[in-house]
Structures are given as C-alpha cells and as structure tokens.
Amino acid sequence: MTFGSVDRRRFIGTSALAGAAAATTVHPGRLRAEETVRIGFLAPLTGGVAAWGLPGLYGCEIWAEQKNAAGGVEIGGTSYNVEIVSYDNEYLPDKARTGAQKLISEDGVSFIEMLGGDTMPAVTPIANRAEMLVSTLLPSDLSPDTPFLVAPAEVHPIYNLTGVWWMAENMPEAKTAVICAQDDALGRPSVATYLAAFEAHGIEVKDTIFFDISTTDFAPVMTAMLAHKPDILCLDTAYAEFVNELCKQAFVQNYGGQIISCTADFYADIIANTSEEFMEGVIFQFPDFDDPALNSEDINFNDPNGFFEVYNERHPGQWGAVSWEYASILDLWLDGAQKAGSIEPAAVLGGMKQGGKGAHAFGEANWWGEELFGIDNALVGNWPVVQIQNGKAVIVEFKSIPEWWGEHSATMIKHFEAMGEMWYQRA
C-alpha cells in the first residue's frame, strides 16, 4: 500500500491500528493501479448493532489492502485500486438513506455493501433509481421490489437446514427438540427454517420460546426449555454472546443431550465456560477459516487461512461470521465485474448472475429465492455442517441446499407462511 492509495477517510484508522503492517507493505517501485474503484460500506459502526458492521469493515479493509498490495484488481483490461468508503448508518433508516445518497452521488461508489434489516427499506428506492448494486446479509430484505439487491454471502437462515439434515442422518436416536430464539428479524425466520427441517426429518418440536434481545439473564429461558426434557436443544440464530450464555445455562442446569445452533462464535470460550465433554458434538454452521476443508479446489474465498491469520492479528477477539462475509461478497463482486468486464453496477449484476450461477465462498452456487423471497437474488449452494470435536470446530460435511429444497420445499414454505415471513406477508 502506498500513501496515495490510502483512502482519506480510513487513513487515521489504518495508520493507527496497523501502522507496522502498512509500513511493511510499502514497496517503492511497485506497480500502481491506473484507476480507483470505490466500494461503499453502509452498516452500523456505532451503537448496539455495531458488532454486525464494524468487524465486517475490518475484513473488507484487509481484503482491499491485500488486493492493492498485489497491484490492484484487473477488470475489463484496466487495473483498479480498491477503496472502501464507509458510512455509519447507526442502524437507522434515515441515516442509511442519507448515507446511500452520499455514497452514490458524492463518493461515486460502484457497489454498496449493507447489513440490511431495518435500514434496507429506506435505501431500496434510492438504489432502484440510481440502479445501484447493493448487497445484504439478510435475505429477508429481498422482494420483487429489489431488483438491484443481492444476498450473496449467507442466505440466512436457509442453510440451517443442513445441520438438522446431517444430525438426522447421523444421530437418529434424537427425536424431540425445543427451540429458543431471539425475538427479532434474525431469530424469527430462522425458527421457521428449523421447524421445517425438524418436520422434514421426523423430529418433534415440543416448544419454541422467544426472548427479547435486551435479555441478559438466560437462566429462566433455559429452565423453561429444559422443562420439556428434549433430546435436542436448538438455539436458533442468536447473537454470539446469547449462544454462549445459553450453553452456560444448559451446562449449569445439567443438560446432557444434543445442541444445535446456527452460530457458535468464540466456541473456545464456551468450552472454557462449560466443559469439553459438554460441548463435544455440538452442531453449528460456521467453520473456522483455518479449517483444512476450506483449502479445497471449489472454495472461492481467496486464501481463507491467510485472511484468518491477518484478521486475528490485527483485531484480536473480533472474528466472527461477519468478519469474512462482507469480504467474501467482495470476491463475488470482483468475479461478476471481471465476467462483465466493467465496474458499472448493472453490468456487474449481470456478470454475477451469468448462467444463473455464482461463485459463492463455499463453491459454485445457484441464484435462487423466487419461491421464498419473490426474486432469484439469493445465492445458495453447498453449506458446511460444523461440529465441535475434541474442542475444535471441524467441517463434517458440505450439504447441498438446492438438493434439500427439491424434496422439502413445500414444508419450508408452509412454516415461512405460518411465521409470516414470506415476502408477500411482510408489512
């Protein structure tokens, strides 16, 4: 990275946090890219939801830095430096709208990455008018009104079915489950997915318990769950710290059965909080990026092990799913831009969706979603099932979501409808 290529807005940050790292990457006489392509990062960076934005920004900065250090990215015969322009939307729709206007009309970005959720409905009309390509981490933002919005990293919560599927195949003795879920836009569609997957695989769900996201004490939640004496505790999609607290409570209240969860970030801490035996066999959906299975040919995330290492060195304790997801979307964007030979948003969208296939982080995937979201803008393919074995997260199998969908789509649609999560049901 040379001084001139450091983004003005980010300069203070990168120089303060990674002064040494930046210094080592300055090579006089290195190839300079001809042009700059700007990518907007419009997510909460302050406030209670910042944990879903800020760690992702760190990941994107590392991604851009690595690309720029290698002389930029080559699109349509021109080499570009990548510059990430961030705008803190504080997870508020009005600030997101202002931010989108600024990124599009003043910063001249070619693509905007967002967390989505509460902030998306205010940005969608702006993106549609400007024909600006936008990505979200929450596919529930997709609808037929969002032709320029893609959900290319994780099609939350659909992939959660892969864990249940694997569990049903490998642990046929587990027959009853209880689900607890945080009561928000993250937890509710996830419940629908788990309910569908459990039903499809003949597991009876005894109860579903919602808790508010301001909950700090999970003892009562766990007491209520364990009152049903389930074979399986399903923690749904919950914030990392909630998963941790729920596991601690299950441990303290002497639970001995199977646990399945969407995430288990910082699982090493959970093991320290409970015990290795207690956490042995827990199933979730997010691999460590030093997992050797990620070095396979069909994985599209560039150098996952190296990325994981740099990230942890620079931002210790901040790694989680969002750390790589925003960066993996940049890989997909780059692939689309290279296929289109242009950085024009509409062309990149065309490149991304060429032939109905896209280069997802976990392998080639299909553009899909019409039946659930009303538009084929979600990228689904294989998703890893991860299990804790001897205190370490291990990818036990990649399962194909399209294959499951072919067989059980009606069950999933039924539960999405019952939860009021189908695109045409949203208020």
Partner 1 sequence: MMGVVTYAIWLALIALSLAAAALSLDPQLGGPHRRWWWQGLALASAAVLALSPHVVTFSQQELLVFLTINTLVVVSYRLLALTGEFSLGHVVMMGFGAYASALLSKQLAIPVPLSIILAAGLTGLVAFVLAFPLFRMKGFYFLIGSFAAGETIRLLWKAFIGPKGISRIPGVPDIEIGAWEINFWEPVASYYLILVIAAVSIWILWRIEHSHVGLTFHAVHWRDQLAGAVGVNTWRTRTQALVLASFFAGLAGALLAHYITTVNPNRFAVHEMVFVLIWVIVGGTATIWGPIIGLVTLTAINEVLLRDIGYDELRPLFYGVLLVLAMLFLPNGLETLPARLVRHFRRAKLLASQR
Partner 2 sequence: MDIAVFLQTCLNATYASSYLALVAVGLVLIFGVMRVVNFAHGELYMAGAYCLFWVFYQNELPFFAGVAVAVLVVAAVGLFLERTMFRPMKDNPLGGLICSIGALLVLQAGAVSLFGVRKKSFAGPYNEAVTLFGVDALTISGQRLVVIAFAVILLGALWAFLRKSRFGWALRAVAQDPEAAALQGISISRISMLAMVLGAALAGAAGALTATIVPTGPYMGHPVIIGAFIVIIVGGLGSLEGAIIASVLYAFTHTFVTTLFDGTIADITGLVLMLIVLVVRPHGLLGKPERA
Which parts of this chain interact with partner 2 (CB under 8 A)? 46-48, 50-51, 54-55, 183, 209-212, 214-217, 219-221, 223-224, 227, 239-242, 244-245, 248, 251-254, 266, 269-270, 272-274, 315-318, 320
Nearer of residues 249 and 328 to partner 2, judged by Cβ: 249
Contact at 8 Å (CB) between 320 and 284?
no
CA geometry: angle at 99 spanning 91 and 117, to 5°?
30
Dist. CA 250–CA 268, nearest whole Å: 16
Please pick, from the candidates 5, 36, 78, 98, the single residue that binds partner 1 as defined by CB under 8 A.
Answer: 98
Q: Which does 367 bind (CB under 5 to 8 A by kind): partner 2, partner 1, none?
A: none
Nearer to partner 1, 9 or 175 (CB): 9
Told to check if 121 binds partner 1 by CB under 8 A, we report yes
Among all chains, which residue has been given the structure tokens 């392998």? Answer: 363
Q: Is 15 one of the binding residues for partner 1 (CB under 8 A)?
A: no
User: Token digits for 321?
Assistant: 């799913």
Greatest Cα pair distance in the chain: 68
Q: Are 35 and 79 in contact (CB under 8 A)?
A: yes
Closest CA to 74 of 302, 346, 341, 307: 341
DSSP state for residue 47 in the 8-state scheme: S
List the interface residues with partner 1, window 186-205 (CB under 8 A). 188
User: Tokens for 37?
Assistant: 């392509």
Question: CB-wise, 47 or 125, nearer to partner 2?
Answer: 47
Q: Does position 61 bind partner 1 by CB under 8 A?
A: no
Return the number of the residue (321 or 343) whose C-beta is nearest partner 2.
Answer: 321
**Distance in Å, CB of 21 to partner 1, minimum:** 18
Instruction: State how far the Cα of 301 lies from the Cα of 305, in Å rounded to an integer.
Output: 10
Cβ(401)–Cβ(161) below 8 Å? yes
Q: Among the candidate windows 65-73, 102-110, 227-235, 387-395, which touches partner 1 by CB under 8 A?
A: 102-110
Q: How many residues does the chain have?
A: 427
- What minimum distance in Å lies between the beta carbon of 252 and partner 2? 4
Peptide bond between residue 157 and the one before it cis (omega within 30 degrees of 0): yes
Q: In the complex, what is the shortest distance from the CB of residue 361 to partner 2, in angstroms, rounded to a whole number?
A: 21
Side by side, which strands form the sheet with 363-368?
Answer: 357-360, 363-368, 378-380
Which of residues 54 and 142 has its CB atom nearest to partner 2 in the complex?
54
Residue 284 φ then ψ, to 5°: -150, -165
Q: Which of 99, 230, 287, 336 binds partner 1 (CB under 8 A)?
A: 99
106 binds partner 1 (CB under 8 A): yes
Least Cβ distance, residue 311 to partner 1 (angstroms) = 17
User: Which residue in 19, 71, 108, 125 binds partner 1 (CB under 8 A)?
Assistant: 125
User: What is the gyration radius of the CA atoms in the chain, in angstroms?
Assistant: 21
Cβ contact 308:289 at 8 Å: yes
Q: Does 46 bind partner 1 (CB under 8 A)?
A: yes
Binding of residue 184 to partner 1 (CB under 8 A): yes
- We find the least distance from the C-beta atom of residue 52 to partner 2, in angstroms, to be 9
Q: Shortest approach of partner 2 to residue 419 CB, angstroms?
A: 15
Which helix (H) or strand (E) segment holds residue 395: the answer is strand 392-400
Token readout for 363 is: 């392998």
Which position among 19, 32, 70, 105 is part of the footprint of partner 1 (CB under 8 A)? 105
**Cis omega (within 30 of 0) for bond into 55:** no
**Residues engaged in binding partner 1 (CB under 8 A):** 8-13, 45-48, 50, 54, 86-88, 91-94, 97-99, 101-102, 105-106, 117-118, 121-122, 125, 140, 145, 183-185, 188, 420, 426-427
